[in-house]
């Protein structure tokens, strides 16, 4: 499976959460300030630049991207996968995720502020009054109502009930309940589109002709080739400094790297590991981060499975040499994880003590569990995960008597398997984070989503996860408690950390690279070129 599926699949997992509703909270009176729910997001190792000079205007930025799956529509009926990263040049949302001093906060974007009701069942957004869509129509409360009601009708926000227009620039969203993951739903996955453009031209047209409020106005799109935008002369925010942008879709890594070296691209994306290793010596500005953790999930929820026995699960963990995986398969770019949370998240605990490689301990535990002669099982790697890592797991486990058959599925079949199908064996799955690890806890360990249903969720873990989700603000101590339980009960085995990285030529400035929830979530209007 080609590695460029990584970011599409990671985003799909996050989007499943962000478009799946909220949970319960206590009833206290709170006004959420523009900087609300906070947590640390991806660490960023950059660059050769020091201070930013005064921005220059003009020029076109060429971004070399990895694929063009999905559409340029919006959350209700279109945008998904890789195309969400092209759509961000044209669309905006009510709130924006911003890193400040190592924390992820939500700040004003198309909304100037918002208030959470005392019972947690409605949020009132106060909107900007100086914004127009690219077709010249007004952004206002009616536009927000139209967009959010389409999301409600699509079924992608099952806990959203209705939207009230309080006045021309105030809209209130009514919900069944609240969880602290909700703010992300008002951000990047709920871009605001022009109702007039949709009503005039239809969804199929909109899916290839984005009409939003962003810093660039759509110019052209050729599937799997490129997408172009030009400067929005009426943009309300900072910039844009560029005359235009062009996103070129180049799935092959060698071709992207060569295009950067020859100057055909100003900026590109790549994976932490072999690709970041390749880029280190080439003189580009590098922005790297371990945003996602891949873990081994086991069918411990099946009572007749060997993995229902905790000693077997622990044996699997002791049998895998993660240090060797990180230094070898990760080309020294990965670090060996021992807790089920990426080190880029603020809830990651530097003092956490995990199970280290000990194959003799693994054999001893298998003997105690009644599997002295071992057993046979199947490993299902998620499409986009490192294929050599699955082979390494197979080899490590064979040395303690566990015979592993690797079964690779195409993305379509895997996501059927992922979404509600029972299974037996082990899965290598991504644990994505956007700065609030409660998204992953909700998806995999709350028992409220039909995802990897044969993976074990104990009552103790579920209780702590729900407490963490239902807290009014993000509580790092609760997330850490959940991660500790996952370790103590060996519910999942952290395998390796990965992430999407960015390289630019030294004349590329701004753009907010590494300043948002994910490395490739940008502030497009602030890009400028010094060449």
List, as one string, the DSSP characters of 403-414. EEEE----HHHH
Other beta carbons within 10 Å of 1: 18
Structure tokens at 518: 């994910």
Q: How large is the C-alpha radius of gyration of the chain?
A: 23
Q: Which residues contact 334 (CB under 8 A, 6 or more apart)?
A: 272, 273, 290, 325, 326, 327, 496, 497, 498
Closest CA to 23 of 322, 467, 432: 467
DSSP letters, 236-248, are SSS---SSEEEEE
Cβ atoms 79, 70 nearer than 8 A = yes
Structure tokens at 378: 């199947």
Quickly list H helices, 229-286. 253-261, 274-279
Both ends of the chain: CA-CA distance in Å?
Answer: 38
Tell which CATH classification among 3.30.830.10, 3.40.190.10, 3.40.50.800, 3.20.20.140 matches the domain 5-23+58-288+500-529: 3.40.190.10
Query: pLDDT tens, 439-457?
Result: 889 889 998 888 899 999 9
More confident residue, 347 or 363: 363
Q: Predicted confidence band at 517 (pLDDT cuts at 50, 70, 90)?
A: confident
Parse the chain into domains and list their residue ranges: 5-23+58-288+500-529, 292-498
The DSSP code for 281 is G
- Cα-Cα-Cα-Cα dihedral sign, residues 106, 112, 117, 118: positive
The values of phi and psi at residue 172, to 5°, are -120, 125
The Cα angle at residue 72 between residues 106 and 499, in degrees rounded to 5: 55
- Cα-Cα-Cα-Cα dihedral sign, residues 362, 364, 368, 370: positive
* Average pLDDT, integer, range 176-187: 84
Cβ atoms 126, 107 nearer than 8 A = no
The DSSP code for 45 is B
Three-class SS string for 159-179?
A: CEEEEEEEECCEEEEEECCCC
Query: Taking the mean position of all CA atoms in its chain, how far away is CA 161?
Result: 26
β-pairing verdict for 170-175 and 160-167: antiparallel
Does 138 have pLDDT greater than 80?
yes
Give the per-residue pLDDT at 34.
34
Cβ atoms 76, 171 nearer than 8 A = no
Burial class (CB in 10 A: 0-12, 13-18, 19+), 138: middle
Query: Does the 292-498 domain belong in CATH 3.40.50.720?
Result: no
Give the per-residue pLDDT at 7.
40
Does 1 have pLDDT greater than 70?
no
Q: Predicted confidence band at 80 (pLDDT cuts at 50, 70, 90)?
A: low
* Average pLDDT, integer, range 476-486: 96
Rounded Cα distance between 388 and 252, Å, is: 18
Structure tokens at 191: 């871009």
Q: Predicted confidence band at 20 (pLDDT cuts at 50, 70, 90)?
A: very low
Query: pLDDT tens, 34-66?
Result: 333 333 233 343 444 446 689 999 999 999 998
Rounded Cα distance between 248 and 240, Å, is: 20
Other beta carbons within 10 Å of 310: 17
Structure tokens at 48: 């050769």
Can the peptide bond before residue 240 be classed as cis, meaning omega within 30 degrees of 0?
Answer: yes
Rounded Cα distance between 346 and 99, Å, is: 12
Rounded Cα distance between 419 and 70, Å, is: 19
Three-class SS string for 110-143?
A: CEEEEEECCCCCEEEEEECCCCECCCCCECCHHH
Give the per-residue pLDDT at 443.
85
When the pLDDT of each residue in the chain is averaged and rounded to a whole number, the result is 87
Cβ atoms 67, 250 nearer than 8 A = no
Rounded Cα distance between 3 and 504, Å, is: 21
Of 67-81, 196-210, 258-272, where does mean pLDDT reach its minimum? 67-81
Other beta carbons within 10 Å of 254: 10
Query: pLDDT tens, 370-426?
Result: 999 999 999 999 987 888 999 999 999 999 999 999 999 887 788 777 778 899 999
């Amino acid at each position: 499976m080609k590695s460029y599926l990584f970011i599409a699949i990671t985003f799909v997992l996050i989007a499943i959460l962000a478009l799946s509703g909220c949970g319960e909270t206590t009833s206290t009176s709170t006004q959420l300030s523009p900087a609300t729910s906070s947590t640390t997001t991806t660490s960023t190792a950059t660059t050769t630049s020091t201070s930013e000079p005064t921005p220059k205007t003009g020029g076109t930025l060429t971004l070399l991207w990895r694929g063009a799956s999905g559409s340029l529509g919006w959350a209700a009926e279109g945008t998904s996968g890789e195309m969400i990263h092209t759509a961000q040049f044209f669309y905006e949302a009510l709130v924006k995720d911003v890193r400040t001093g190592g924390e992820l906060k939500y700040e004003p974007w198309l909304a100037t502020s918002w208030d959470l009701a005392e019972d947690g069942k409605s949020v009132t957004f106060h909107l900007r009054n100086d914004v127009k869509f690219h077709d010249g129509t007004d952004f206002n409360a009616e536009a927000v109502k139209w967009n959010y009601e389409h999301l409600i009708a699509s079924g992608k926000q099952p806990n959203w009930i209705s939207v009230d227009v309080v006045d021309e620039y105030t809209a209130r969203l009514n919900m069944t309940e609240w969880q602290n993951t909700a703010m992300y739903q008002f951000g990047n996955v709920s871009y605001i589109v022009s109702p007039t453009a949709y009503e005039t031209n239809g969804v199929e047209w909109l899916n290839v002709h984005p009409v939003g409020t962003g810093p660039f106005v759509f110019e052209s799109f050729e599937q799997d080739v490129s997408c172009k935008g030009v400067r929005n002369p009426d943009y309300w925010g900072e910039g844009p400094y560029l005359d235009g942008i062009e996103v070129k879709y180049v799935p092959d890594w060698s071709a992207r790297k060569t295009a950067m070296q020859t100057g055909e691209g100003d900026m590109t994306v790549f994976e932490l590991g072999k690709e970041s290793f390749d880029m280190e010596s080439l003189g580009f500005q590098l922005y790297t981060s371990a945003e996602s953790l891949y873990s081994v999930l086991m069918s411990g929820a099946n009572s007749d499975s060997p993995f229902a026995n905790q000693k077997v699960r622990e044996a699997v963990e002791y049998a895998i040499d993660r240090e060797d995986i990180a230094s070898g398969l990760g080309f020294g770019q990965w670090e060996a994880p021992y807790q089920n949370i990426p080190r880029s998240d603020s809830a990651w605990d530097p003092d956490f003590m995990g199970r280290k490689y000990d194959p003799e301990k693994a054999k001893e535990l298998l003997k105690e569990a009644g599997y002295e002669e071992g057993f046979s099982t199947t490993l299902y790697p998620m499409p986009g995960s490192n294929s050599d890592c699955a082979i390494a797991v197979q080899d490590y486990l064979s040395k303690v008597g566990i015979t592993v058959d690797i079964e690779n599925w195409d993305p379509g079949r895997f996501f059927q398997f992922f979404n509600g199908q029972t299974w037996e064996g082990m899965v290598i799955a991504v644990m994505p984070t956007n700065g609030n690890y409660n998204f992953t806890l909700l998806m995999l360990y709350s028992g409220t989503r039909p995802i990897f249903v044969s993976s074990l969720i104990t009552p103790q873990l579920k209780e702590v996860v729900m407490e963490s989700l239902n807290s009014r603000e993000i509580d790092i101590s609760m997330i850490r408690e959940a991660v500790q339980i996952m370790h103590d009960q060996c519910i999942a085995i952290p395998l390796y950390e990965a992430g999407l990285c960015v390289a630019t030529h030294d004349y590329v400035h701004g753009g907010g690279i590494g300043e948002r929830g994910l490395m490739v979530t940008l502030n497009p209007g602030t890009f400028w070129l010094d060449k």
